[in-house]
Structure 1
Amino acid sequence: MKPKDQNKYGIMTIAFATVFMIVQHVLNSVTVAPEFAQNPKRFYVYNILLGLTAIGGNILALYLGYQADRFKGKRLLQMLPGFYLIYLTITFAINIFCKSFNLSVYWKIFFPISQNMFPFAVSFMLIFLLSPFFATNLNKLSNSQMKNMLILTSILFVICPTLFGKDLFGFSEGKGVLWIAYLFLVGYGSQRYKIIDKYRNIFLKFIMSGLVIALLVLLMTQVSLIVHKDVSTANRFSMPWSLLSVYFSINCFILLQVMDRKFNFFKTSFKNISYYLVVTQILINWIPMTSFISEKYKEAFPDSALDWSIRIIFIAILYIFLSAVICVIIVMISRIPVLNKIKMKRDISDWNQLVECFFQIERWLFTRRKIIYTGIFFYLFTAMQMLLFSEEKTIPSLFRTALVIFTLRQAQLVLNLIIIMLFFLLVFLLTKRFWYAFSFTLTIELLITISNVLKIEFRREPILPSDLVFIFNLDEILSMVSPIIITVAVIILIILAVSTLLIQRRASKTYNLRINNRKRFISILLISVFLSGLLWVNQPNSPSNLFFQLFGINRMFYNQKWGASVNGPIVQFINNIVGKAMAEPEGYSKENLEKIMKKYTSSAQRINESRDDWSKDQTVVFVLSESFSDPSRLPNMTLNIDPIPFVRDLSKRTTSGLMLSSAYGGGTANVEWQTLTSLDLSNLDATLPSPYTQLVNKQDVAPSILNLFDTAVAIHPYLGSFYNRIDVFEKFGFNSFHYLESPDGLKYTEKIGGNPYVSDEAAYKETLDAINDNDNETQFIQLSTMQNHTLYNDYYEENNFDFSGNAVSESNRSAMKTYLKGLNYSDIALANFISELDKIEKPVTLVWYGDHFPGIYNADEIKENPLTYRETDYFIYNNSFIQNQQREDTYQLVSPYTFPALALEQANIKVTPFYALLTEVTKDLPATTNDPDASDKSKDNEKKIFVNHKNIVSSDKNLSKKQKVLLSDYMLIQYDLVAGKQYSAEWASQKVYD
């Protein structure tokens, strides 16, 4: 061999071996295998190709053994960091190209061995690194010893598995390290005994051995059909470790080596060959890449054999081309001087240096052990939070949930830990006191945990960003919490504060931060930028959004409680930081909006032909009856006394039915927003769970039913600042807002028994005064009652109401009885209110409804019947002054946003174009809500569902063509008002014309 060729290697063997591996991958991953019953000929062709191309790995292993003597004395370990760097670079690039942002994938990037993604590559690399050792020791064996070793291993590893038809030694289809070691031995033996020089009729043997494999596929298919009644053993003799496949591999390898010698000019360095092998293995094994190719090209087996063949060839050529291009780029980059210098500093020359690297890592970890212990503590604390928020209560189920958390939710745990630790480090850098930072972070975590537990108990949802407005009503929030809990929390905080001061003083020298001011300032700045960037987590393609995608976080807006238990409270809280108000519907433009406005202006004219003019003192009253619902409709619930006989009787005489609430156990303000604006909550983006606090003040114009009236009054016998009602009602245009301690005041604040909330009777008196005080003006009144608000702490002395059934647990029996008595008080108060309305000498239309169920029912029952637990009672009533006491039976199940249109229809008065649109929506579209059954498998958190009066759920795909057009019109108008340019704001805000 010429000196210049001493470090050159033939490429024919490598090239053909990788082509076989690529084709094998394409056949297994990109092509849909044909069924024998459907197309036997295609089945045979497909499986023969699988058998013939299964030898790619065998050829590479034989080549490695054949060249083993040339590796002696070389520092092969020195090449490992370079291979790893190439691997990291390519996998990162593929992930970015394929838009794969999942933490589990990135774990595989840094630790590929842990997931067994590259079994052949890892086995091959291990034998490659040990090849100098093997070659040196094999050279010490005599020829007879070497021959005996080859015979013995061939009997064990080839002949026995072939006879038994089993993978006896775990060769994993030719990818196991033991199999690679055996082929290395065969390759070494072929070089030692100069087999290639002695081999005759090479090409003929290659052809014949291939034909034998093909014929055996045909034969074994028929045998399998006779013996097993299927084709499961069709490839028994074409597995990489079968005798005939090994023989075919050896023939092919020898033929390729002869070609390498003949075409001597096709040579390159071992480094370049290594780069090419690394690149090829990544491309055919890296999941994001294989998924991308499969999604793009994988389809059912085509009718045309030619089309199928062309597709196989095309994809194989694509892989080969990509491998070659990437390899060329890597070679060119590797020649950059600066990179070579960096590489030399990171090179590992021997095994001792590799061990020293591990010791350096150990020392680095030891010096930062305090931070690491803190991380472990908050890691376990987060796991405890996730376990605490789960639905499980029994010891076995809690154990199973804990197992799930530590095995399947590592991404969520790690993300929570990163955020917590960055916050801790920020406080540590600011204070330079370890224990102050630790205790402050722990205090925040404890407050987060306690507040989430309490809110989940009352509302079945965790703390959300919209709840931060309640910080200004902390005294009222605390009034809803048990004094025992508050006392215990205060004691814990005092103990924590005192112990922190004592420990910090005693251990100040050990735990104080030692860092120069420059590094400290830079660290504070970087952490602050990262944490503040989380505010944009719901902005598509923002850094924080991509960061959360990296961890594969499912935002779970459809089930906030479940989201807190799966994602952890911090991540779930951040998930709900509002992004966009609503997704832009298709066709949004000023021109289309103008067409829609013109269309429903005509509709209004048509509707108004049969409607009456407004009276000068026309009055509409909306009454939101807090937590009102009919428990007798629930499965597994039987009442001893009917608590709502008046509502039940009146519902038979006027338009009535069920209202599909947007939540269970809470969400009063959201229902209220829908009834006032005629906008559908389920159309909004899931990151906007509270329109009152997140949306209304951001709108330049916030159209509502108030726009139709000369004057408007809001009454809420509680705190007006909850859900930002004071600002929201001012934005809507209420002339006065009566709430506790308001400037407009409340005349009536009577309560019943031990109930801390103003009674319905008092609230109705306030409403009657508002109606009677108004003269010669159209008037709208919004009343939200409070009497039946949680908690239900045995308020009433005489209570004969009781129940049976499993809908409510025994622990909540007292609360349920209190709730039933409260319903009865509400029913009586409502009867008196209706009686007073009938005495008023002006037209009054009342829309009355319960906003949601109380949060006292069994979670299992809610899971069984989620929609039933969202359906509250409603009716729409005209007082006696209006002659037409109509009853409309078509509205058995409605959404809250339809109430304005229903009220105008019940009163039989004219509408504006906007309410003409709402009238058609109310008549022609089913009720809607966000899906209470949505799971983590829901694609893109699609939460909007349509529900008919039989509780049959459907999607917009099931709508008729007419309904889809109507829905599109409504969606475009809503988007324009809440997130668009508000082209229709003035149109939606106009008064009724004559």
Structure 2
Amino acid sequence: MRPLSKRRKKAGPGLNRLWSNFFIVLACAVVPLVLVFGVEFIQRGNLQETWTWLIQNPKLFTMNALLDLFIFLLIYALLGGLLPSIAVSILLLCTMSFVSFFKVKLIGEPFFPWDIFLNKESMNVLPLVTNQSALMRIGTMVGTVLVLLLLSIWVPRLRLKLKTRVVVGLMAVFAVYSFGVNAPWASRVMDRMGASEIVWNQSENYGNNGMMLAFTMNVKNAIVPKPEGYDEPTMANLAQSLKGQSGIQLASAKADPFNGKQPNVIFIMSEAFWDPTLLPNVSFSADPVPTVHRLQQESTSGYLLSPQFGGGTSNVEYEVLTGQSMSFLPAGSVPYQQYISKPLPSLAGYFEEQGYKSMAIHSYEGWFWNRENVYKQMGFESFMSKDQFSNPQYKGDFISDDEVANNIIQQVDSTDKPMFIYTVTMQNHGPYDDQRYGSNPIQVEGNLTPEAKDTLETYTQGAQDADASLQKLIDHFTETGEPTVIVFYGDHLPMLGYDYDVYKQGGFIQSGKSEQWSLEELKKMHSVPFVTWSNVDLPQEQLPILSNSFLGAYMLNHMGMQLPETLAYNAELSQKMPGMLRNLVVDANQNLYSSVPDSLKNDVDKYRQLQYDALFGKQYLAKYIDSQYLQQTVMPNYNQEFAVQAPAEEEIDGSLNASDGDNK
């Protein structure tokens, strides 16, 4: 049997051209509609919900189809053949929808334009999406694509003429670009179609507007706009108001609790650390975090308001180390990946300026979240990543928290200078359905499904190990007597099942949809415990809530250290507004707001301008305030102590080498 393309040639060129144009026009009309329906079905995971959205929002459905049409036309112009172009369009858009679906399930955030640049980091979530249901959905998509590619062998390619391809391609690029940057004509079209961007709640944004439209509207958010009123005269006036604020003291702070000695300052950001005993409907056979519970009674402690849930560890680091806030950046953005490419004031640079050795320790790959480059820009002297651990002990897939504690002790004991160490652990990274420990000594009881019980017990074992590693550090520095301050906290709450499953079953929240949470529930789902310890007598305080971005300023005050002007402003603002997320503000009286109240807007605007000036602007502030902190530079000897070990990484057996942990 002859291929259809050969048999149709007998019908004459005129009829062939007529049929070709008919099928091309039909494809342009039908394919975008099918793509929108498929993408929304994948993203929402429910046929009824997809159909309801389509019926109730015909204009938004049409707007999404228009965007899909431009994507399809661009691919068609590039590839030439109709069926291959349909196949690639399905593969591209459905893959985006799958990524968005799983991101929402896991951490409550959809797929953003800047997620494309995560590169290797995306590989870390692959184990989370390889269950049977996910593989069946992905297999269906891949099968459809393969069928279309095979059919293209037997049916006409339906190619466009070269000139037509160029014109169609340019038109598609222009349209996609216009909608992405929100050009005036594109903005008018979206307004008429009923598009309404919800920047502060991206899950709702994608749910209301449809994935392709919401994704496109977010493209412009990759560029952070200049705050209203930002210019040199404004910053000069702000600098004048900040002068003399350095050294601000909290009421409870002592001027010099260390009697002239410089203590080691150790920040430990424990991966996904949280207190599972906060689940009201669950009981435990033993206290999983006894050290944390004891410190909550004996020393300064409280809760940190994290900008993240279930992932995005580097964003919490960014807030703590710089004193800047994720609230002023696009939802879902990653400063480590997107914005930090030049020296940036941070706690690391501050402590170096005070005569400390600043070191970052992370028990995972140095490239992850671009840390090896970002830490350099932040003024760290050294970065000890996974490759510098000497024959470490693993628990599950990651280096154990106990091993991290051992290396902190080794680094402090082998260094003459006082140390500032910023530590990020990895042992208790999700997912927690892998039974990584074999058996879990601490048993949980409650109205939980077997899957939820296993997940919670695995997580709880990791939390217990993190707590024990903290106790090991306390025991060591109690014995040595070397002045030391430890600040221990989690980066975010753990992702315990899809749709916050364990939290719902445990009675911590009422709904598995974050857009339905009350402000109190939102606060609970972003509040992680933090505790401090010191072998020097420091004041004891209980903080109901404190944003991560204010933690650095608070601890410097708490230790009686002088603050640079911008961190002094953080300390002052935290007295009026201790907690701030993009969609949650906590004032000094613990009142909750979904946005900044009028009484605090001027203060928050100053905070925003200070951040923009340092991260994106002209660094005007440094021209008017003579501060080494504001004129951050890269350490000339950055990571030299570990650079000589690079050849060891080429060992054939690929094992970690004994010399990797040496402090040379």
TM range (shorter): 0.7 to 0.9
Once the two structures are superposed, residues 746-795 of structure 1 have per-residue CA deviations (whole angstroms, 9 ceiling, x without a partner) of 2363222xx2122211122222222223223x532211111111111111
**Aligned match of 1:899 in 536, 544, 551?**
551
**Alpha-carbon deviation of 1:678?**
0.4
Report SS of the residue matched to 1:368. helix
State the match for 2:72 in structure 1.
424
The 2-side partners of 1:704 and 1:790 are apart by 29
Once the two structures are superposed, residues 123-171 of structure 1 have per-residue CA deviations (whole angstroms, 9 ceiling, x without a partner) of xxxxxxxxxxxxxxxxxxxxxxxxxxxxxxxxxxxxxxxxxxxxxxxxx
**Aligned match of 1:977 in 614, 619, 631?**
614
**Alpha-carbon deviation of 1:667?**
2.6
Name the amino acid aligned to 2:292.
V
Pair 606,436 (structure 1): closer, same or farther in 2 beyond 3 Å: closer
**Alpha-carbon deviation of 1:623?**
1.3
The 1-side partners of 2:480 and 2:148 are apart by 67
Once the two structures are superposed, residues 471-522 of structure 1 have per-residue CA deviations (whole angstroms, 9 ceiling, x without a partner) of 34565443554276797688667755653443222112xx42243x333322
**Alpha-carbon deviation of 1:419?**
2.3
The 2-side partners of 1:872 and 1:727 are apart by 28
The 2-side partners of 1:977 and 1:817 are apart by 43
1:165-180, aligned counterparts within 5 Å?
Answer: none
The 1-side partners of 2:227 and 2:285 are apart by 50
Out of 365-374 and 526-535, give the one that drifted further.
365-374
**Alpha-carbon deviation of 1:408?**
2.2
1:869 aligns with 2:506: no
Pair 892,841 (structure 1): closer, same or farther in 2 beyond 3 Å: same
**Alpha-carbon deviation of 1:454?**
2.6
CA contact (8 A) 1:758 1:786 kept: yes
**Alpha-carbon deviation of 1:874?**
0.6
CA contact (8 A) 1:386 1:566 kept: no
1:712 aligns with 2:358: yes
1:656 aligns with 2:301: yes
Cα RMSD, aligned residues only:
3.4
The 2-side partners of 1:983 and 1:727 are apart by 25
**Alpha-carbon deviation of 1:900?**
0.9
CA contact (8 A) 1:460 1:855 kept: no
Name the amino acid aligned to 1:417.
A
**Aligned match of 2:381 in 720, 735, 747?**
735
The 1-side partners of 2:414 and 2:178 are apart by 52
State the match for 2:240 in structure 1.
598
State the match for 2:63 in structure 1.
415
Once the two structures are superposed, residues 568-611 of structure 1 have per-residue CA deviations (whole angstroms, 9 ceiling, x without a partner) of 33333333325376565565443343343333331225649962
State the match for 1:18 in structure 2.
none
1:679 aligns with 2:324: yes
State the match for 2:402 in structure 1.
761
1:772 aligns with 2:430: no
The 2-side partners of 1:748 and 1:506 are apart by 58
Pair 674,512 (structure 1): closer, same or farther in 2 beyond 3 Å: same
Out of 472-481 and 447-456, give the one that drifted further.
472-481
Pair 460,627 (structure 1): closer, same or farther in 2 beyond 3 Å: same
State the match for 1:925 in structure 2.
577
Name the amino acid aligned to 2:453.
R
Query: 4+ residue stretches of structure 1 with deviation over 6 A?
Result: 363-366
1:240-279, aligned counterparts within 5 Å?
Answer: none
State the match for 1:368 in structure 2.
22
* Count of residues in correspondence between the two structures: 589
Report SS of the residue matched to 2:358. strand
The 1-side partners of 2:492 and 2:522 are apart by 12
Pair 951,657 (structure 1): closer, same or farther in 2 beyond 3 Å: farther
1:224-623, aligned counterparts within 5 Å?
Answer: 368-373=22-27, 375-390=29-44, 399=48, 401-473=49-121, 475-482=123-130, 495-496=143-144, 498-508=146-156, 511-515=157-161, 517-537=162-182, 541-579=183-221, 584-585=226-227, 587-604=229-246, 607=249, 611-612=255-256, 617-623=262-268
CA contact (8 A) 2:24 2:82 kept: no
CA contact (8 A) 1:375 1:417 kept: no
Pair 605,718 (structure 1): closer, same or farther in 2 beyond 3 Å: closer
CA contact (8 A) 2:577 2:587 kept: no
State the match for 1:262 in structure 2.
none
**Aligned match of 1:628 in 273, 276, 281?**
273
Pair 617,545 (structure 1): closer, same or farther in 2 beyond 3 Å: farther
**Alpha-carbon deviation of 1:818?**
0.9
Pair 478,985 (structure 1): closer, same or farther in 2 beyond 3 Å: farther
1:726 aligns with 2:372: yes
Pair 365,812 (structure 1): closer, same or farther in 2 beyond 3 Å: farther
The 2-side partners of 1:988 and 1:634 are apart by 49
Pair 557,956 (structure 1): closer, same or farther in 2 beyond 3 Å: closer
Pair 773,489 (structure 1): closer, same or farther in 2 beyond 3 Å: farther
Name the amino acid aligned to 2:33.
Y
Pair 984,432 (structure 1): closer, same or farther in 2 beyond 3 Å: same
Pair 464,810 (structure 1): closer, same or farther in 2 beyond 3 Å: farther
**Alpha-carbon deviation of 1:373?**
4.6
**Alpha-carbon deviation of 1:526?**
1.7
Report SS of the residue matched to 2:525. helix
The 2-side partners of 1:388 and 1:636 are apart by 33
- Structure ranking higher on relative contact order (CA contacts 8 Å, 6+ apart): 2
Name the amino acid aligned to 1:626.
E
Q: Which stretches in structure 1 are left out of the alignment for 5+ residues? A: 1-362, 932-943
The 2-side partners of 1:709 and 1:886 are apart by 22
State the match for 2:439 in structure 1.
798
Out of 658-667 and 364-373, give the one that drifted further.
364-373
- Choose 1 or 2 for highest CA Rg: 1
Once the two structures are superposed, residues 376-423 of structure 1 have per-residue CA deviations (whole angstroms, 9 ceiling, x without a partner) of 344244234334434x86xxxx53x23431222223322222222222
1:750 aligns with 2:393: yes
Report SS of the residue matched to 1:877. strand
CA contact (8 A) 2:199 2:205 kept: yes
State the match for 2:660 in structure 1.
none
**Alpha-carbon deviation of 1:430?**
2.8
CA contact (8 A) 1:617 1:775 kept: no
CA contact (8 A) 1:654 1:875 kept: yes
CA contact (8 A) 1:620 1:903 kept: no
**Alpha-carbon deviation of 1:704?**
1.2
The 2-side partners of 1:550 and 1:748 are apart by 62
Report SS of the residue matched to 1:579. helix
Pair 751,451 (structure 1): closer, same or farther in 2 beyond 3 Å: same
The 1-side partners of 2:179 and 2:127 are apart by 32
Report SS of the residue matched to 2:246. helix
The 1-side partners of 2:228 and 2:77 are apart by 49
CA contact (8 A) 1:470 1:722 kept: no
The 2-side partners of 1:664 and 1:681 are apart by 13
Name the amino acid aligned to 2:307.
S
1:636-651, aligned counterparts within 5 Å?
Answer: 636-651=281-296
Once the two structures are superposed, residues 602-655 of structure 1 have per-residue CA deviations (whole angstroms, 9 ceiling, x without a partner) of 122564996239967543222111111123224444444321111011111111
Name the amino acid aligned to 2:80.
K
Pair 442,815 (structure 1): closer, same or farther in 2 beyond 3 Å: same
State the match for 2:628 in structure 1.
990
State the match for 1:298 in structure 2.
none
The structure that is helix-richer by fraction is 1
State the match for 1:161 in structure 2.
none
1:820 aligns with 2:457: no
CA contact (8 A) 1:976 1:983 kept: yes
Report SS of the residue matched to 1:686. coil
1:888 aligns with 2:541: yes
CA contact (8 A) 2:35 2:68 kept: no
Q: Which stretches in structure 2 are left out of the alignment for 5+ residues? A: 1-16, 505-510, 631-664
Identity in percent? 22
Pair 952,530 (structure 1): closer, same or farther in 2 beyond 3 Å: closer
CA contact (8 A) 1:470 1:477 kept: no
Pair 815,656 (structure 1): closer, same or farther in 2 beyond 3 Å: same
